Amino acid sequence: MTKYGPHNPHPLSQMKTELVWEGKYDEFGNQRVVDYSGFLFPLQRIETVDEPRSRAQAQGSLFDEKIAHRDDSRNRLIWGDNKLVMASLLEEFKGSIDLIYIDPPFDVGADFSLTVPIGESNDTAEKEQSILEMVAYRDMWGRNMNSYLQMLYERLVLMRELLSDTGNILVHCDWRVNSYVRGLLDEIFGADSFVNEVVWKRAQTVKGNVGQGTKSWGANLDSIYLYRKSSRSTFNDLFLPYADEYIEKFYKYYESDGRRYRLISMIGPGGASKGNPRYEVMGVTKYWRYSEERMKRMITDGDLSPIFPPFLRRVFVPDCGLMRP
């Protein structure tokens, strides 16, 4: 009988933390490799979105005002199994996609039927699920969570291959699978590649989820996980204009030229317990909000505003008047 101990550790004692499901490993204990070479097939373009209904409503430079783009990658709509489609796109787009957003199905037993609005009138058309879509759902949920995780794992691996080094991926899910999806993303992209979790409130109320006598809170939140391909990923911060009420509340002071500003103490809140640096500046030794190097740079360059007793800094309303949402 094999004896396990410090000099012969048991294999289970050396396993890393990971998400395991039926089908991830073969009968010999080897992780199944996603082999997409057999999925390649030429894409048949059925329809190309060429121009918007109104050029005036075009978003940014999405549509060129002079040139129609019938033969390049913009505005390409492809219908089919996304695993097959992505495998076929690898030859052309591997390592060149900057942003991927996916919204995989949440609920067991849902289907692909939906109501499609037509034009700008109130007319609608009912879109029934196709044979392909019914088969896709049967395969996806045939083994419950096991088949769902395998389905998503294979596609996320393909998406990682398609992403550029500066690219990002957003994965939208809900309470049924969010913990599993987070584990998959950590494994495929690396836990260090996690950027943010966006929690989205779907509606103001959840009356449809709860009723009299219920023993739980209504489910009204979705999760959107943002992961990056590498440390070189692009991140463009989002800002919104300051509200007038915000400016009135926080920017109470006026400069002679009419600019508004607020006062911020340079003393580090919390002192040593919060990790604030302690050093001498202008003859005073305290725990400060900023590093000594940055403090000296602000004093010398005057880029932000001069520091004056009792160590308050003037922060003006930015010219663009923007703040994070």
What are the tens digits of pLDDT across the range 242-259? Answer: 888 989 999 988 888 888
Edge-first strand order for the sheet with 221-228 is 97-102, 163-174, 221-228, 194-201
Q: What angle do CA 147, 150, 154 make, to 5 degrees?
A: 145
Same domain (yes/no): 185, 139: yes
What SS3 class is residue 317? coil
On whether residue 192 sits in a domain, the answer given is yes
Report which secondary-structure segment, H or E, holds 196. strand 194-201
On whether residue 56 sits in a domain, the answer given is no
Taking the alpha carbons of 320, 323, 324, 325 in that order, is the dihedral positive or negative? negative
Record the tokens describing residue 22, joined without a space.
Answer: 């039926």
Answer with the residue of higher pLDDT: 17 or 100: 100
Residues near 164 by beta carbon (within 8 Å), at least 6 away in sequence: 95, 96, 97, 98, 229
Q: pLDDT tens digits for 15-53?
A: 888 898 888 988 888 888 887 776 666 666 555 555 555
- Kindly state the average pLDDT of the residues 57-74: 54
On whether residue 84 sits in a domain, the answer given is yes
List the CATH number of the domain containing 186: 3.40.50
On whether residue 54 sits in a domain, the answer given is no
Same domain (yes/no): 163, 294: no
Domain count, the chain: 2
Q: How many CB atoms lie within 10 A of CB 7?
A: 6
Model confidence pTM above 0.85: no
Q: pLDDT tens digits for 141-191?
A: 555 788 889 889 999 999 999 999 999 999 999 888 899 999 999 999 999
Same domain (yes/no): 247, 223: no
Q: What angle do CA 160, 153, 221 make, to 5 degrees?
A: 95
Is the pLDDT assigned to residue 70 strictly greater than 90?
no
Same domain (yes/no): 193, 275: no
Answer with the residue of higher pLDDT: 249 or 130: 249
